[in-house]
A and B are shown apart, each in its own frame.
Chain A
Amino acid sequence: MELRGPPIRNDWQMMDPTIELNELEVQLGGRTILHGLTGVLKSRAIGLLGPNGAGKSTLINTLLGFHTPSKGSARVLGLDSHTSGKALRSLVGYMPENDAFISKMSGVRFVRYMAEVSGLPPDQAMERAHEAFVYVGLGEARYRPVGTYSLGMKQLAKLAQAIAHGPKLLILDEPTNGMDPPARKRLIELIREIREASDICLLLSSHLLRDVEETCDEVLILRNGQIASICNLVEERRANRKFLELETIGAEATFTSTLEGLGCECAVFTNGRIKVVMPDSVEIREVFKVAADRGVQIRRMNHRRDSLEDIFLNAMEQTGAADGRI
């Protein structure tokens, strides 16, 4: 009987949520780590955020079927993580947070080995291993033992082994750990590229809000083993209008009324301070143009949009973590 790799389908994504948690409770060593998590995450790229000890790794391990839920269930791509563990893991590529490699093996042999364990025939595994290595940018180093790689290269090798067998869901646990800014940027670009190039789903756990913000469409924020927030970033971005905080000299009612005429909402405060909520269609240069036309001096301008950091801090505050540390 010939087995084949998971078929490329787009309809399952529409039918089944990427992750579905139903009163999921996980206990380890008699201690409850995840407290009845319930939620549905439908986006293709999901970020997992939370302070240390929030239960991110436990959740990932549970989704991979490493932990047995003491109550409730978790479904990934429509498959129960406990009862259909093997079937689920055949769809998954996993990049662990910690070091995970065989130091004496050359990079390409290591990735080939992992692809073969995933079920690829040796010749296919070899081909995909080379492709994956070149794809992540380690083509030149593929014949070197993984143990001799730098930290950033090891991260890329881990990514290569996670994608070599062509998974449907890529689970990345702290992928940019210990990487310098250019390497981090390159890895984030790669992740975005992978996401956009195929129908692959993504679950990314990170301490770096920027990583999640740049790669994910939906965020699950955990705190003390509970869901602090589930937030659809696409919708948030759409809903969160950008706004300007201005300090002006000589601003009169005509200035604000002209801006309102462009579709902005203005709130005037003392000492020439004005808050302008701008629709997406209005550019900042139009504000400058109006100010120049009306002879208004803009002494200070703060341009911002609600960021994931605001959402995260808000979630932390709502659940009692006023310091919002991560």
Chain B
Amino acid sequence: MAVYKRRYNSYTGSLTPEWSRFFVLTRYAFADLFKSRFFVILLVLCMVPCLFFAGYIFIANNQTVQLLMQLRSADLFSVESQYFIVIVMVQTQAAFLLNCWVGPVLIAGDLTNGALPLFLSRPFGRGDYVLGKLAVLGLLLSAVTWIPCLLLFSLQAGLAMNGWIWSHLWMVFPIVLCSAIWILMLSLISLAVSAWVKLRIVATGVIFISFFIPAGLGEMFNAIMGTYWGRLLNFSYMFRLILAKGFRERSALLGTFGWDEIPVPAAWGVLIFVCLLSLVILNARLRAREAVRG
């Protein structure tokens, strides 16, 4: 099918491995995202808190700087598990904002003009499609959550020395695990919303609503029924509960809900349920076939 010949020819060249094809979607989505100046600014802003956290770690570990700034070690918040809880919480909130901007356009763009049958009429399944889109959010949200958290952890370990890393290595697990469940839940909710709502602004609103309305309803339920189980509908609270359990903390930083009222397995159950529900919604929407008339 050379241009100058204007003749159709079959393709007999090499093919990419089937398992890697989902990443084509991820690559194209990233290329589109980085064309947006607003997205780049938002991404940079999501990284800014990490600079402050890094600066604080540097100061907390450097007595010369403390002297220069006329600070006493006792005045400084120690860089221990509570400090990393704060980092994870701040960065997961940043991830939430980033997700609200990026998520809504990922699938809606393909569904608006019926491009889905074009993907699925190739050796490419619905699972590959979802995986490709999920990888966009997964990589992006990882870049603002557990990856900078681990870098900060490494920075602290490097500056503190004296075996700090070995006595705190266990913190890597809750940092990665809690970030992962949050990223997974956010991504699946966004994709499910993106599959059903075409307009970005409406979809962003729906993502916000899906977090805040159930939480409000849960509190109403608690107030009326005199119970605390309504908090199961507060996904952020469930996440903080898991985070606290992971970091073996009972800190006021975790909120004023009284975090030990709901069992942690129930919190895990809620988050996993939300993920599964999002998958069911996605499954219902992502169909290759066209309408059968008549």
Give A contacts to B, CB under 8 Å. 1-8, 28, 33, 51-54, 57-58, 61, 64, 66-67, 86-87, 89-90, 92, 94, 96-104, 113-114, 116-121, 124, 128, 130-132, 134-135, 139, 147, 161, 163, 165-168, 171, 193-194, 197-200
The answer to whether B8 touches A194, judged by C-beta atoms less than 8 angstroms apart, is yes
Contact in complex: A131, B1 (CB < 8 Å): yes
Alpha-carbon distance A203/B118, docked complex (angstroms): 16
**A26 to B, closest residue via Cβ:** B292
The residue that A101 contacts in the complex, of B9, B28, B113, with Cβ under 8 A, is B113
**B residues near A116, Cβ cutoff 8 Å:** 16, 21, 24
Question: How far, in whole Å, are A5 and B122 apart by their CA atoms in the complex?
Answer: 13
Tell me, in angstroms, the Cα distance from A130 to B10 when the chains sit together. 15
Contacts of A66 in B (CB 8 A): 117, 120, 287-289
Q: A1-B17, A118-B122, A131-B1 are in contact. Are A97 and B8 (CB under 8 A)?
A: no
Known A5-B14, A54-B294; further 9 A-B contacts with Cβ < 8 A:
A52-B294, A57-B292, A86-B18, A114-B118, A116-B21, A124-B11, A124-B14, A161-B118, A167-B10
Note all chain A residues with C-beta closer than 8 A to B113: 99-103, 147
Bound-state CA distance A116–B118 (Å) is: 12
Contact yes or no, B290 A61, CB < 8 A = yes
For residue B118, give the distance in angstroms from its CB to the closest CB of chain A: 5
B109–A197 touching, CB < 8 Å: no
* CB-based contact A96/B8 at 8 Å: no
A86-B7 contact given A120-B15, A147-B113, CB 8 Å threshold:
no
29 A–B pairs (Cβ distance < 8 Å), ordered by A: A2-B14, A3-B14, A3-B16, A3-B18, A4-B15, A5-B12, A5-B13, A5-B15, A33-B292, A57-B289, A64-B288, A89-B121, A96-B118, A96-B290, A100-B117, A101-B115, A103-B112, A113-B24, A113-B28, A120-B16, A128-B11, A130-B3, A134-B6, A135-B1, A166-B9, A166-B11, A168-B10, A197-B8, A200-B8
Chain A residues near B24 (CB, 8 Å)?
113, 116-117
- Within the complex, the shortest CB–CB distance from A316 to chain B, in Å, comes to 15
- The answer for the CA separation of A128 and B124 in the assembled complex, in Å, is 19
Separation of A117 and B24 alpha carbons in the complex (Å): 6
| Cβ–Cβ < 8 Å partners of A165 in chain B | 11, 122
User: B residues within 8 A CB of A97?
Assistant: 290
- Among residues of A, the one whose C-beta sits closest to the C-beta of B17 is A3
* Interface contact A53-B1, CB-CB below 8 Å: no
Name the one of A3, A161, A199 contacting B10, with C-beta atoms under 8 angstroms.
A199
Within 8 A of A (CB), among B252-294: 287-290, 292-294
Kindly list chain B residues whose C-beta atoms are within 8 Å of the C-beta of A118: 122-124
User: A109 to nearest B CB, angstroms?
Assistant: 8
Given known A86-B123, A90-B122, A166-B12, contact A128–B17 (CB-CB < 8 A) = no
In the assembled complex, which residues on chain B have CB atoms less than 8 Å from the CB atom of A147? 113
Contacts of B21 in A (CB 8 A): 116-117, 119
